Structure 1
Amino acid sequence: MWRMIFVLSGGMFLDGYILGIVGPVAGSLTADLGLSTVWEGLIAAGPLFGIFFGSPIGGWAADKFGRKPLFLMDMALFVIASGMQFFVDSPGLLFVVRLLMGVAIGMEYSVGWPLMSEFAPANLRGRLMGVTLVAWYTGFMVAYALGYWLVNATSLGWRTILGTSTLLAVVLFLARFGLPESPRWLWNQGRADEAKAVAHKYMQHAAEMSDVEHEDTRKGTLGMLFSSQYWRATLFVSMFWFCAVAPYFAIATFADTVLQQYGLSGGLAGGVGLSAVALAAVILTVLLIDKAGRRVLTVPPQWVCAALLAVIGLWGGAPPVIVLALFLAFSFFNAMYNTLTGVYPGEVFPTEVRCVGTGFAAAVSRIGAGTGTFLLPWSMANLGPAVSMLIAAGIALVGAALSQWLAPETKGKSLTETAAGLSH
């Protein structure tokens, strides 16, 4: 489990890293390649659009061919694409390279969380899956801080700074060799003897081993996600994730720009400050999730974030220190329920569609994250900061209402029980 936590967390760290590293080099990147605001948004959002394609494809493949081979393939693709950043010489090529990195990360989403959920004991599952979100926010914050330092204290070019993700990717790729296949997937494929052997070797509790034997042996399809049995799970996970990440990605990726629009000095303190507050919230959520439950950490924080963004949008003459406090509060509460986007997908879908369901939800979420990141520079310039923040508030409001209706409580339940929670 420790090894699996390391390689899964490393994948999430990389996702946060490649998004956070763009902000500090945006200036030199724009000057060197002569980027328009459209190209600036596309390059920042490239990995998010890549996740849109990679996650459903990876999810389908992981449900069909197994978790283990996809877990190696996605990191191999990331190593190749990340290394290509050292050699890009045009906006189009940089966009394609970061798109491929996103495809790899999308596959990671669709197989990593399901794999963790299928091994983790019920009493620790939320905490173990939430740790990967700690890694994501840490990756974003480390990348922003490291990138800012490298830009201002060294003579390294933006290609080298962007390419720093390659080294960790190589380590993670090598560390994945020898990890076991999921016993639940093996049982679902009718390979009961192999499933029992893996379960007895890697699972600590008899109840978890026994629960593996309750798995169905039917084959899953993408269409099952929209059946009368599972549409609620698909709707909830997809749109909850969409509404959670769309405002955060846009605001955090361009923290400098957003804060400067409100008369605040961004720089290192602004970008890292938002990420540091978010990281603290994720750590708190991980500590509480298996004790307090899922719903209390999912629903109320969304209503709070909708209100905070609305205040920022409506209070045009607010003092800069108040605006900064509101942004920091938004970052904190948003990160609380964002942690659940790494927990719910692995719990509410059954084994036969767990990966493709997670992959589909990740794709929908990245429509929100990618569109928000792509459109924010344009929106701030053409619609103004007030309207931009009110749009973000509206998105948070939709997520709050949906979660109030559908978010299940899965604390302490077996995967068989959690997968049946939204099935009717």
Structure 2
Amino acid sequence: MTAQKRTLTAWKATIAVAMSNYIEAGAIIALATSLTLWQGAFGFDDGMVGVIAALSANAFGAAIGAAIGGPLCDRLGRKFIYTYDLILFMIGALLVTFSPGLVMLLIGVVLMGIAVGAGVPASWTYIAEEAPSEQRAAHVGTAQLAWSIGPAVGFLLAVVVGPLGVMGSRLIFFHLFIIAAVTWWVRRGLPESSRWKADREAEIASGKRPSFFSGISGLLKQPKNWGALAFLLGVYGLWNTVAGQAGIFQPRVYDAAGVHDPMQQNLLQVLVWSLTALATYFGFMRYGDRVKRRWLYFGGAALGIVGWAVLIYAPPGLFSLLFFAIAWGISAGLGAQAFYGLWTAELFATRYRASAQGVLFMLARVMVGLLSLVFPVLLNSLGLPGLGVIIIGLLVAALLIGTIWAPKTEGKSLDEIEAERYGNQTPVSTELPANL
């Protein structure tokens, strides 16, 4: 296979698998824009709003899926997960679309969350493993790009179907079902990760018999991994605890900041996520393989802190709202989630790379879920300035951790990084020959 054809094949696979992130973000935003409508239609209180949000793709639902999907991805292969996770997602989306009451709504939300939790770590892992070393950030950034486009489309759809009330929300969930069905069909023809296949063949040849827990046990037995897990949880877990609330409760935050019209709230979010997509493409994907990643990360993280500080503490008005939308949108495109997807693929060996993704994604979603359980109540009792202390504190901690301990992995192949980190303790013979 020529280098040009190999590159084209890699991009096709990247785009198909990256759609997990569009679907994940779309599921979160579909719920975010409809929670108040479901609450009015089915008559539950703010406490149940927090429970539904906590059990969704934004939090505990995804955590459960990641805990199962990560180890299965290392045990049975990347293709196994991204072939079957969307079937579960489609079932959940249909249940929500046609839910007659709270119980079916809750079941559908949980199933969608589990499917997202299983699929996203597998997609990040597969994309990084199949990407050319010199374009790894660009390929991983495609997942972030899809994740950004999902909310932009979701909030725009919420504006369009807003006059339909709950029926409009049902149509948004049904659109996710259609996207998932098309993505599932396209993915059927994708090959297994060549790196995972080579590593599995090496394990079998050595007489090892991997089990469901092999990835987790291998991950935790290696002391080198403990620091990487702590670092990535600090970068992504803390940032995502804030981003998770923004994803699903941002309309309520805007309401507390003085914007009460749902259409205006959704249009602000369209601006946020459109800028996130642009920053991902023109920032992270263009420069993530060229510049020192430490300072690219720092710039994005710092801009996010400034954006939230203005929204929370500046006088309410058009300036503070637009400044937040622009700053937070650009920050999210350059920030923690894109770097997390990249660094998690780079800092762990192939045999437990997806398990590491699963563990970290699970813990990050648990952190989101714990705050989601009380976020609506805290927002009502403390107000935005009081809650802002928690938000700013989490973002500052994520900035410091990511900037101080950013790994120097740019320009290196996964094999080179693996050899540097583990020496001869793991096989490093999975790089494809250049003449294939």
Q: Same fold (TM over 0.5)?
A: yes
Matched pairs, number: 403
Distance 1:238 1:256 in 2: 27
Does 2:133 match 1:109?
no
Write the letter of the residue equivalent to 1:321: F
Matched, 1:275 2:284: no
Check conservation: 2:156, 2:270, Cα contact below 8 A: yes
Q: Are the counterparts in 1 of residues 18 and 123 from structure 2 also a CA contact under 8 Å? A: no
Partner of 1:334: 332
Equivalent residue runs for 1:124-273 within 5 Å: 124-152=135-163, 156-190=167-201, 220-226=214-220, 227-264=222-259, 266-273=264-271
CA deviation after TM superposition for structure 1 residue 127, in Å: 0.2
The answer (yes or no) to whether the contact 2:303–2:327 under 8 Å persists in 1 is: no
The more displaced of 78-87 and 319-328 is 319-328
Q: Distance in 2 between matches of 1:300 and 1:159?
A: 39
Corresponding residue for 1:32? 41
Q: Aligned equivalents of 1:25 and 1:127: distance in 2? A: 33
Residue 238 of structure 1: how far off its partner (Å): 2.4
The answer to whether the aligner puts 1:7 opposite 2:16 as a matched pair is yes
Residue 155 and residue 353 in structure 1: after superposition, are their counterparts in 2 closer, same or farther (change >3 A)?
A: closer
Amino acid of the residue matched to residue 15 of structure 1? Answer: E
| CA distance in 1: counterparts of 2:94 and 2:138, whole angstroms | 33
8 Å CA contact retained: 2:234, 2:402: no
* 1:361 corresponds to 2:356: no
Moved more, 291-300 or 168-177: 291-300
Listed as ranges, the matches of 1:248-397 within 5 Å are: 248-264=243-259, 266-283=264-281, 284-310=283-309, 312-313=311-312, 315=313, 317=315, 319-337=317-335, 338-397=337-396
Alpha-carbon offset, residue 406 of structure 1? 2.2
Distance in 2 separating the partners of 1:389 and 1:332: 20
Output the CA distance in 2 between the equivalents of 1:369 and 1:301. 21
CA distance in 2, matches of 1:91, 1:324: 35
Residue 200 of structure 1 corresponds to none
TM-aligned CA deviation for residue 374 of structure 1: 4.0
Amino acid in the other structure paired with 2:16: V
2:45 and 2:111 map into 1 onto residues whose CA distance is 22
Distance 1:294 1:120 in 2: 18
Q: After the TM superposition, which segments of 4 or more aligned residues of structure 1 sit over 6 Å from their partners?
A: none
Would you say the 8 A contact 1:232–1:406 is kept in 2? no
Change (3 A) 1:186 1:272: same
Query: How far apart in 1 are the matches of 2:168 and 2:412?
Result: 50
SS, match of residue 223 in structure 2: coil
Aligned twin of 1:41: 50
CA contact (8 A) 1:242 1:367 kept: no
Q: Structure 1 pair 321/310, CA: closer, same or farther in 2 (3 Å)?
A: closer
The alignment partner of 1:230 has SS state of: helix
Greater mean alpha carbon deviation, residues 172-181 or residues 380-389? 172-181
- In the superposition, relative to structure 1, how do residues 148 and 323 fare at CA in structure 2: closer, same or farther (>3 Å)? closer
Q: Please list every run of 5 or more consecutive structure 1 residues that lacks an aligned counterpart in the other structure.
A: 195-214
1:82 maps to which of 85, 88, 93: 93
- Does the 8 Å CA contact 2:280/2:333 hold for their aligned counterparts? yes
Unaligned residue ranges in structure 2 (runs of 5+): 1-9, 424-436
Matched residues, percent identical?
Answer: 23
| RMSD between superposed Cα atoms in Å | 2.7
8 A Cα contact 2:271 2:329, kept in partner: no
Q: 1:176 to 1:308 in 2, by over 3 A?
A: closer
Deviations, residues 128-187 of structure 1 (Å, cap 9, x unaligned) = 110111111101110111122112268835333323211111111111213212222122
